[in-house]
Structure formats: C-alpha cells, structure tokens
Amino acid sequence: MQSGSSLTSSPKANTARDWSVFVLLGLVSITPLLMVDLPPLVDLYGHLGRYAIQTELAERPELQPYYAFQWILIGNLGADLLVEVFHPLFGLQGAVRMALIVIQTLACTAILALSREVNGRISPFAVAAIPLIYALPFNYGFINFALGMALALLTFAFWLHLRRIGKQGLATACLLAASCAIWVVHTYGWAFLGLLCGASVLAEAATKRSPLLETARHSLVVCWPLLPPLLLMLLWRASSGPSYTGEWSSALKILWLASVFRSQWMVLDLLSITFVLGLVYWGFRERDVAVDRRLVAAALLSLVGYLMLPMFVMGSAYADMRLVPYFLVLALTAMAPRNMPARKFERLILVIVTFLAVRTIATAWSYVEQDKLVEAHLLALAEVPSGARLAVLVVKPCDQPWALPVIDHVGSLALVRKNIFVNDQWEGPGYNPLRVTYPEGGDFVRDPSQIVQTDGCRTKAAPSLSSSLNAIPRRAFTHIWIIGAVPDNMPVPAGLKPLEHLGQGLLYEVRQPVDRDASV
C-alpha cells in the first residue's frame, strides 16, 4: 500500500509489493465464502433451484413435468453462464460456490486495480472499501448484478490505464467488447460502466475548462462503444412486454443507506456504515489526502442516481438500493495519502486493517449462524418423498427484524435435494430462461406466492397466512410446509394431516381437497 512519506523504493519493488497485496487481500475477500458449503444469501437458494433445472433437468425426470429451460439472450445471465461452465468440473453446488468465489475475487481485484491506476499505488482507503463487496445487494443474493458491477469497475480501471498510456484505439475496442459482454451479465453493470466512463470524461473536461459543445462532442467520441447494447436492450424489453417502474420513498432512501452492511447484528452493521461515512468525510477534509476528480465525479453521479431512482426499474426490484455501496466504493477509492506524516499514516493503516478484519469476521460468523438456521429448517424435508409437490408458505412477522430473511427461498433446496416441485421459482417474460409448466398450481407455482404475513398486520406487505392457505389448490400439491413466524397453537387446517419432523415449522400432508372458503 502507499506510503505516507516520500517514496524511495524502486518501481520493480513497488510492483512486487502491490502484487503481494492483491493476493493477500484477494484471499481475505473470499474468506466468508469458505466458511460454509453455500453462503446463506437470501435469493441464492432460489437461484440454485434454477441452476439445477438449467444443468440437470435431463437427469431429473421428477421435475420434467413442471419446469422447462431454454436459453434466451437477456441482460441477466452472468452467474448462469458461470455455473454452466463450472458444472462439469464441480457439480451443481460446487459450481455455484466457485461462481461466487470468482465474483468476489473480481470485485476485490477491481477495487485494488482502480486504486492503483488512479493513485499510482494501492491506497489504504481502497482497502477500507473491500468489505463493501459484502454489502446488502450481495447478501440478498443479487449475484448477476454483483458480477456485472465487478466487471464494470475492472473494465473501467483497464480503460483508464489504456488511455493513460496513449493506446486510444485499444481502449475503444476494449470498451466496445466489454460493454456488450457486461450487458449480458447484467444490464445494471453496463449502465454503471457508462456512468463511470461518462463521469471520467466530464471530470477531464472540467479540469481543462473545455467549452460545453466540445465536451459533448468529445464525450460521444470517447464513449460511443457503450451504445451498441442499447439495441440489445430494446429487443429484450420489446419481447418481454411492459415492466413496472416506480415507488420512490425518502424513508427507504435513509433505510438503504443505514442498511449497507445489513446482515444479522444491527449494532455492528450500523457502526460499520458510520465508520465508512466518517472515513469518507475525514478523508475529503484532510490536506494530506489527495482525491481523484474522475472518481469523485463518478461517486457524485452515483449518489445522484441513487437519490433519483425509484425502487423498481423495468421490473428490477431494489434498483436504488443496489447503488449505495458503489458510490461509497468510488468515494473511498478516489482518496490516497499524499505526504502524510509517517505516524499518522501508520495509525490510518491500523484503523483500516482493523475494520477490514472486523467486517470479514462478522460476515463469516453471520454466514455460519444463518447456515445453521437454514439447515435446521431442512430437517423437515426428511418426511417429504422425492417427486412430491410442495407448497411452501414463509410467514413474515408484522414488524420485520434486522436480520436478513435467509429462509425466503429455502423451499428451492427441496427442489435441489429431492426433486420436489416448489412454488418459489422466479418466472416471467424477460426474467430468466426458466419456465414453470404446471398450470394446475394456479397462482401458487412461482415467486412470490410463498411469501405471506401474519394475520392481522396493520400494514399489508403480502397476503395473509390464512388467505393464502385457503387459496392453495389442494389437488395440485401433496404437501404444505409453513415456516417463519408461525402462529402459536395454530389449528390443523381442514383436509391436512400434520407430519412429525425434526425441522422448523409445520409440515402437512394433503389428504383431501377442501372448499377454498373453509376456515383455517
């Protein structure tokens, strides 16, 4: 990392030192993933079910009547393609785990490479940005998005490097190829790459005090390779039909900022975001900390984008929340010590390394604890035979806890482990290549039919447990599994036989159909 005093070591020694930092921090960045067989990311279990259908449907005859999979070109295929590549080598779960390791390794590498490019060395502030790769978007399981953003940052760093050494033609070719590839991984990553490149060009123009018209012309010349995916976007959205955009909330804006590190322990997570915000504020005020105007411009544009974006954009949920950790990453990566006194520099290093260690340990520990919770629920599946049809209802309390809802898609592990049909796979025009082919299940064949809330909640965030339980088409399912905030002393619903099991929640065998209006 960059020294605070004058530099006397040779460029070769500095390069060797930076490479050792890359390797060491790369290993630290994947440590939480190595603590469990599969990290308990909220949506990951649902993705795992889709990957099972994607790669192994031909070997799973029990699932063939209910699911189909056909590759289509959409801007949301990143991890799906990685799993396709890794599956022959590592099997299903191993392929998913390897894909996650690749994603987080790329994310860490991108931050360090960008810091080295704009600052000349790896800055301590960039090290403080590494825990942000385990921010809320990743912990929710937005892995295609995480891969797209990591590739965008890495491409941006390489593009800046090529332009700095005068290889403009190669920079243009790199940007053209990368923009199309990143769009396929996830459209958000492509849009983010456009923001990064655009911010860089604008910052350079501002430094040179270029006229507005000249700035616009130059921006078009430099950034035109980002435009071809617009055609892919138009074709995709035209074939997928209309999608929802909306729901802007100032309260949610504050919540998402406070929830950057949200996983399991509220106090620690809030202290962590307070530390990051304080470090950014301190760094921008210190005279012996230099800032790169290009990354500052990108961070400010990301912040503005976060404040302006609604929660849903073209059907993609949490569109605004996803930007929060990245404007912080850019703000931190923009900073580097310059002629900082040695003792002050050493204290800065100590504080940042301590923060990195605390967040790495906390993330790993939370994954271990949440994995135990998931496995405790899965014990119930011992009583459900292979090939069954399982309706899962995940009951949400009226007041949501801080800990992430890692059991929201735990039902898909029944699909993976026992070839059981479950009602929590994502399906819809343009979402992914999976199709559910079970019309008998009615509205209970896809996400979010598994999400319900406790009866009597004042705020209606999902259907009530009783209404969903009554609405399930009993002839379409062999079993019903109710987990989460299950009411105490819940009476046995008519037509269902309780099954004793060692797992969490209530498990029933469907014995006979009942009238949908029957009471619970």
Which distant-in-sequence residues (6+ apart) come within 8 Å of 423 by Cβ? 390, 391, 392, 411, 441, 444, 445, 446, 447, 449, 450
Average pLDDT over residues 509-519: 63
- The answer to whether 261 touches 138, Cβ cutoff 8 Å, is no
**Token pair recorded at residue 332:** 């931190």
Nearest-CA neighbor of 389 among 448, 441, 465, 443?
Answer: 441
Residue 518 in this model has a pLDDT that exceeds 70: no
CA distance 453 to 484: 9
448 upstream amide cis, omega within 30 of 0? yes
What pLDDT, in 10s, does the model give residues 70-92? 999 999 999 999 999 999 999 99
Task: Name the burial class of residue 319, with classes exposed (0-12), middle (13-18) and buried (19+) by CB atoms within 10 angstroms of its CB.
Answer: buried
What pLDDT, in 10s, does the model give residues 171-218? 999 999 999 999 999 999 999 999 999 999 999 888 888 788 888 888
**What pLDDT score does 240 carry?**
67
Residue 7 in this model has a pLDDT that exceeds 70: no
Q: How far is CA 509 from CA 376, 388, 453, 474, in A?
A: 20, 10, 22, 10
**What pLDDT score does 517 carry?**
44
CA distance 177 to 225: 8
CA distance 50 to 144: 13
Confidence of residue 340 (pLDDT cuts 50, 70, 90): very high
Residue 5 in this model has a pLDDT that exceeds 70: no
If DSSP codes are grouped into helix, strand and coil, which group holds residue 332?
helix
Residue 51 in this model has a pLDDT that exceeds 50: yes
Residue 426 in this model has a pLDDT that exceeds 60: yes
CA distance 416 to 433: 18
What pLDDT, in 10s, does the model give residues 270-311? 999 999 999 999 999 999 999 999 999 999 999 999 999 998
Average pLDDT over residues 321-327: 95
Helix axes 324-333, 293-308, angle to 10 degrees: 170
